[in-house]
Structure 1
């Protein structure tokens, strides 16, 4: 496995300054934002696709520092019921697929999106309860009319270009659990897999180790994010795991994102890394830092230090004791 970082974290630095900083920390890979929610601070796909010289210089800037690009990330909601919003996200996804092909990056990361509850809806509707039965009707309509058709078409576009799509299992979107990821993968094909982020498993009450086993046995992990979560044992009893308070209200929230090692101990992270190795994942572990208690530099540095202790890097080789 290789250690990387989602470099949207360093949007305040120039592309080359950020690469220098990352390389100096001893990392192997970078995940680069190409639009949608991550923005385009370090990469403007339209410019790179239109200029072969810029494209070559961009790739050389990464490779000359001994780094690789693990993924291009363009998180958004291409199923948004307001068509102009959905189109912006969709166009960014298509451009990112094209750019990934040109850069020889094997995977793009995004969200599944979440539709509304009917054709004339204005806002997404995320059903999370099976009763009253209206919610089941909404869910069935969304998957039949929006989720599966959109990703069937977009998945084919990616597959035809040799690109895999890593969907982050995130609350608020149609694909947010191992089961919903596998449901879409069964309908669309192997081009769909997970950009598995343990932080979103923990707050939903899902054991990330088991999520790795469920998805890994199906060959459905395309990329992996390293981010932690802590659940407040008192606040969760007041607000539940679907706490709608701002992330900035850290003292009262039921749960919050933390840097690796500050939500769960390194034994837990070692178990996750071991599970990844067990199911055959031998790609990049990409740090994502969204810890409201730490600066960018400190949160990132501590995540690097902690993961370097548990990451399994060398090939297994033969079991000499067998």
Structure 2
């Protein structure tokens, strides 16, 4: 396994300075944003797709710092009911898949998207209750008319370029649990899998270790984010887990993101890493830092320090003891 980082953290640095900094910390792989929510500070699609010399120079710089690219990320909502939002996200995804193929990057990360509740909707509708039955009707329409047709097409596109899709299981989007991840995969194809982030499992009440087992048995983990979450039971009692309190109001939130080791202890994270290996995931653990209590450098550095001792680097060749 390799320790990586989602470089959106360092959008204030130019590409060369970012590469030097993360490699100095012992990072082995980088996940790069190509647009959408992550931005494209370190990976300009048009420049790299249309300029072979720029592409070659880009690849060489990564190699010179002894790094690999674990994934290209273009998180957005390509199923947004407003076309001026959905269409750029859709185009961004297609271009990112093409660039990933050229760079020999095996995974493109994004969100599943979330449609509205009918063709004339203006905003996404995220049903999270089975009753009243209106919500079931909305959910059925979304999956049959929007999600499955869209992701069947994208599964085929990704397969044609030899790329896998890592959907981040994230609240507010149609795919947010292991169950609906596997439902979409079964309907659309095996190029689709998870970019699994335990932070979003914890706040939904899902044990990340068990989510790894559920998805891992189906070979459906394509990428992995390392981010922590703290649960504030007092605020849960007031707001519930689907808390709409702004992220900036941390004292009042039911949960909030922490850097690795500051929401859950080392043993919990060791169990996560070990279960990834148990389920045959031998790829990158990519640090994503969104901790509102720590600076970029401090939060990132502490995540690296907490993960390094528990990373499993060497696969067992044979059971020498039996």
Give the TM interval when normalised to the shorter protein. over 0.9
Distance 2:317 2:237 in 1: 48
Confirm or deny that 1:256 pairs with 2:256.
yes
For 1:104, the equivalent position in structure 2 comes to 104
SS in 1 for 2:203: helix
Distance 1:167 1:221 in 2: 9
For 1:125, the equivalent position in structure 2 comes to 125
Q: Which runs of 5+ in 2 are unaligned?
A: none
Deviation at 1:233, TM superposition (A): 1.2
1:94-141 CA distance string (max 9 Å, x none): 110000000000000000000000000000000000000000000000
For 2:214, the equivalent position in structure 1 comes to 214
Deviation at 1:155, TM superposition (A): 1.2
Distance 1:141 1:207 in 2: 29
Once the two structures are superposed, the pairs formed by residues 274-285 of structure 1 within 5 Å of their partners are 274-285=274-285
For 2:223, the equivalent position in structure 1 comes to 223
Distance 1:61 1:242 in 2: 43
For 1:87, the equivalent position in structure 2 comes to 87
TM-score, normalisation: structure 1 = 0.99
Distance 1:155 1:86 in 2: 18
Deviation at 1:154, TM superposition (A): 1.2
SS in 1 for 2:130: coil
1:23-72 CA distance string (max 9 Å, x none): 00011100000011001111111110000000011111111100000000
Runs of 4+, deviation exceeding 4 Å: none
For 1:316, the equivalent position in structure 2 comes to 316
Distance 1:285 1:219 in 2: 16
SS in 2 for 1:93: helix
Provide the aligned C-alpha RMSD in A.
0.5
For 1:17, the equivalent position in structure 2 comes to 17
TM-score, normalisation: structure 2 = 0.99
Once the two structures are superposed, the pairs formed by residues 1-322 of structure 1 within 5 Å of their partners are 1-322=1-322
Q: Which runs of 5+ in 1 are unaligned?
A: none
Say how many residue pairs are matched. Answer: 322
SS in 1 for 2:252: coil
Greater mean alpha carbon deviation, residues 163-172 or residues 306-315: 306-315
Distance 1:250 1:37 in 2: 22
